[in-house]
Amino acid sequence: MSAAQKSYSRITTKSLSEMKANGEKIAMLTAYDFTLAGIVDQAGVDIILVGDSASNVMAGHETTLPITLDQMIYHASSVIRAVDRALVVVDLPFGTYQADSKEALRSAIRIMKESGAHAVKLEGGKEVKESIERILKAGIPVMGHLGLTPQSIYKFGTYTVRAKEEAEAEQLIRDAKMLEEIGCFGVVLEKIPAALAGKVAQGIRIPVIGIGAGNQVDGQVLVLHDMLGMSKEFSPRFLRRYLDLNETISTAVQSYTSDVKNGDFPNDKEQY
Ligand code: KIV
């Protein structure tokens, strides 16, 4: 951390807006359970996202669509119990906010009340404006999510980069401005060209957090299991792996299994 950076004992939506104003980049990671959330929080990340990517990495589904509100609340309450500093944002899962704004508000209230989370995130632009406004009016902070929004994967038909065409890029810029105007505290931009993401970040005052959106934005988010190298299959260009936990865990489990089978574990000092 540079000398000029302010230190925060607790991250709030106000801290994030200050960070953007001061040019301090925001670090965000996902977490879905007590143990890893505690490690991530103590390591100093600013935002912990209880993402609906739990559907993929925790439950093994192919998409984010199947995870339920009850399951998100379970993950979120486990995370909240571990966190002292980071702002905890929870995804509203598919099917809990699209039908109408009253249902969206009920879903957001359940997340806040039953998990103790600090904010919710939901995907989409003008089509979910009314829902976002209703949630905001109830005093619940909302983060937007534009670009490659995984809950719409069957509409897109592919996980390739979004908003490469002018019309989609212009709509994304309008949506980001709208999210700022109605009072969202931040927005995630997923898998869009870096120059477009930079233009959005420059054009609005709320923090823009990118995933596969280049480095001209106000912060970055990655799925924890991906950056720790837990899986070998998922390898998009934007993913930097900081560990090869798949290999590390596999080696440890192989050693344990062989120690048990050879009668090496437990040894004399490891028993009563
Ligand atoms: O669910 C998730 O993990 C997300 C991030 C990819 C931003 O929404």
Question: Could you tell me the distance, in angstroms and rounded to a whole number, from the CA of residue 53 to the centre of ligand 1?
Answer: 6
Q: Using one digit for the tens of pLDDT, what is the confidence trace for 2-28?
A: 446 889 999 999 999 999 999 999 999
Question: Does ligand 1 come within 6 angstroms of the Cβ of 41?
Answer: no
- 224 pLDDT band (50/70/90 cuts)? very high
Whether the predicted model's global pTM rises above the 0.85 cut: yes
**Other CB atoms closer than 10 Å to residue 231's CB: what's the count?**
15
Question: Does ligand 1 come within 6 angstroms of the Cβ of 226?
Answer: no
Q: In the structure encoding, which two tokens stand for residue 93, read together?
A: 């899962």
Of the ranges 25-34, 132-141, 232-241, which one carries the lowest mean pLDDT score? 232-241
Question: Does ligand 1 come within 6 angstroms of the Cβ of 53?
Answer: yes
Q: Probe ligand 1: pick from 143, 188, 226, 227, max atoms within 8 Å of CB?
A: 188
Assigned architecture for domain 13-241: Alpha-Beta Barrel (3.20)
Per-residue pLDDT, averaged over 57-84, amounts to 98
Query: Is 190 an active-site residue?
Result: yes
Q: Relative to the CA of 52, which ligand 1 atom is closest?
A: 1
Q: In the structure encoding, which two tokens stand for residue 114, read together?
A: 């039953």
Backbone phi and psi for residue 178, each to the nearest 5 degrees, phi listed first: -60, -40
Which one from 62, 130, 190, 233 is the annotated catalytic residue? 190
Tell me the C-alpha distance between 57 and 63, whole Å: 10
Per-residue pLDDT, averaged over 210-221, amounts to 98
Question: Does ligand 1 come within 6 angstroms of the Cβ of 151?
Answer: no
Q: Probe ligand 1: pick from 45, 50, 53, max atoms within 8 Å of CB?
A: 53
Q: 176 and 204 in contact (C-beta within 8 Å)?
A: yes
Q: Using one digit for the tens of pLDDT, what is the confidence trace for 148-191?
A: 999 999 999 999 999 999 999 999 999 999 999 999 999 999 99
Where are the CATH 3.20.20.60 domain residues in the chain? 13-241
User: What is the chain written as a DSSP string?
Assistant: --TTSPP-SS--HHHHHHHHHTT--EEEEE--SHHHHHHHHHTT-SEEEE-TTHHHHTT--SSSTT--HHHHHHHHHHHHTT-SSSEEEEEPPTTSSSS-HHHHHHHHHHHHHHH--SEEE---SGGGHHHHHHHHHTT--EEEEEES-GGGHHHH-S-SPP--SHHHHHHHHHHHHHHHHHT-SEEEEES--HHHHHHHHHH-SS-EEEESS-SSSSEEEE-HHHHTT--SS---TTPPPS--HHHHHHHHHHHHHHHHHHT-SS-GGG--
